[in-house]
Structure 1
Amino acid sequence: MQINDPSAYRRCEETDLIGELMDLRDRRVLELGCGAAYTTRMLATRFGAARITATEVDRIQHARNLAIPDLPQVSFRYGGAESIADPDASYEIVVMLKSLHHVPIAAMDQALREIHRVLLPSGLLYVSEPVYWGDFNAIMRLIDDERLVREAAFEALRNAVAAGLFELVAEVFFESEGTYPDWESFAARFIDVTHSERNLDAERLAEIRAAFERHQTPHGVRLWKPHRVDLLRRVD
């Protein structure tokens, strides 16, 4: 397992990889840290998961998710990965999309033990994490420097494999394209959020905006966002 491999990236969308690496049709799926439920919807509609439990620790976003009217096979739940309110062996697949590094560092190992507990024997854990590298990260670190938490998340995965909880099935590095028409659209997506208190002063906001607008073109800003996917299988 490697935290980064700049020579190994492919350009694709996250959903392409999900469909390539796993068969979710008629499966029981747990999504930890579902955010605004964009991928949750894909898991239900495009990939045909039978039942999805989608958790979120941002109470504001969770309340919005509860109001979604057209996903009857999805149950939205407030809660974190370190304490999963399900019996043992409840799910065939667990999905974490850019959420492991948001688990408190001291609770990451516990979260992976909980995931092992609620997975069926030989069940799959799909973990996608942003990689601390590239132009997009150079802007994002000015908003919230996540180097330490991303490193801790990777170490927690390696520790879980070394401890015999999981085995590595695949590790894939990919870049997905982010397109932002202007500064306001970028700020709405990454700064004016409900899940974090940014507390950015005017000077820092100006620095972030300048870093963003260095990539401005007549067609907006296009940035390639690097990720690492680790697909793990529960070891009994």
Structure 2
Amino acid sequence: MAHIEHLKSLCPLEGLDVVDVGAGDGVYSRQLDAAGAKVTAIEIDPEKVERAKENLPGSIDVKLGAAENLPLTFGSQDLVCLFFSLHHVPIAAQPAAFDEFRRVLGTNGRLHIVEPYPYGTMFDVVRLVEDETIVRTISHQLLNHMDRDQRFALENKREYVLTREYPSFEFFLEKIVLPDPARAKTYEAVAPEMADTFNRAVEYLDGRFVLHQPCAAYHFSVTG
């Protein structure tokens, strides 16, 4: 709940029209809904859209779409959120994505983007099957220079660490690697190295085996 709790400290969610861009299976859409927001979940993967429609509360509107082509009307949203999804938007499409964020936001709209850093024990393990060093670095560079964009003003930036529990390497594989066909295929070539990296990186904390992922949350207001 770290993402949503931080967001709630900046922007009360009750009754707001909120779009979760790159929603995946809807983990954060569900949390936004529980906080009282009227949520639209946007996901580009048709299979994830179908799973989300089956598993999420009926109060959440799930739509197929991309960050650079949102299926929403002009000025219809109070808040646009991206949780660990901006770096998945192709770099060439990111300018169009920000055009879309501004188009769907109302006059007093907010834009909230959380991105993981390309380091941390979680990253050290996952990068063996999907190395996101470059795309994560570019996303943070973009967000740290949004002062060049006259439409958004940075209101708050906060860095924090997500701590995730993985009681075994097998559990980690089942949750993080094997559900993704591309990661699963790559894993075949790095299995011993990945197991060794996991065992060296995992920390025993408060009776739990955990990995840490540092990230930063950027909260913008609409200025023009």
- The normalised TM-score by structure 1 is 0.87
Q: Which residue of 1 aligns with 2:95?
A: 109
Question: C-alpha distance in 1, partners of 2:72/2:146?
Answer: 20
Question: C-alpha distance in 2, partners of 1:201/1:137?
Answer: 15
What 5-or-longer segments of structure 2 have no aligned partner? none
Answering whether residue 175 of structure 2 is matched by residue 189 of structure 1, we say: yes
Answering whether residue 74 of structure 2 is matched by residue 60 of structure 1, we say: no
1:73 deviates by 2.2
Is the 8 Å Cα contact of residues 122 and 212 (structure 2) preserved in structure 1?
A: yes
Answering whether residue 205 of structure 2 is matched by residue 226 of structure 1, we say: no
Is the 8 Å Cα contact of residues 213 and 221 (structure 1) preserved in structure 2?
A: no
Is the 8 Å Cα contact of residues 108 and 156 (structure 1) preserved in structure 2?
A: no
Answering whether residue 50 of structure 2 is matched by residue 74 of structure 1, we say: no
Partner SS, residue 143 of structure 1:
coil
Q: Which residue of 1 aligns with 2:139?
A: 153
Matched letter for residue 43 of structure 2: E
Partner SS, residue 44 of structure 1:
helix
Question: C-alpha distance in 2, partners of 1:95/1:130?
Answer: 14
Aligned residues with identical type, % of pairs: 26
1:216 deviates by 6.4
1:52 deviates by 1.2
1:210 deviates by 0.9
Matched letter for residue 33 of structure 2: A
What 5-or-longer segments of structure 1 have no aligned partner? 1-11
Matched letter for residue 224 of structure 1: H
Question: C-alpha distance in 1, partners of 2:129/2:65?
Answer: 25
With 206-215 and 219-228 compared, the bigger mean Cα shift is at: 219-228
Answering whether residue 26 of structure 2 is matched by residue 41 of structure 1, we say: no
Matched letter for residue 232 of structure 1: F
Answering whether residue 157 of structure 2 is matched by residue 171 of structure 1, we say: yes
The RMSD of aligned alpha carbons is 1.9
1:68 deviates by 2.7
Instruction: Point out the structure with the larger helix share.
Output: 2
Is the 8 Å Cα contact of residues 88 and 118 (structure 1) preserved in structure 2?
A: yes
Write out per-residue CA displacement over residues 18-73 of structure 1, whole angstroms, 9 at most, x where no aligned residue.
2212111101011101112121111111x101x2110111221111111136x232
Relative contact order (C-alpha < 8 Å, sep 6+): which is higher? 1
Matches within 5 A, 1:84-103: 84-103=70-89
Equivalences, count: 221
Is the 8 Å Cα contact of residues 136 and 223 (structure 1) preserved in structure 2?
A: yes
Write out per-residue CA displacement over residues 200-230 of structure 1, whole angstroms, 9 at most, x where no aligned residue.
1534122111100123659552122111000
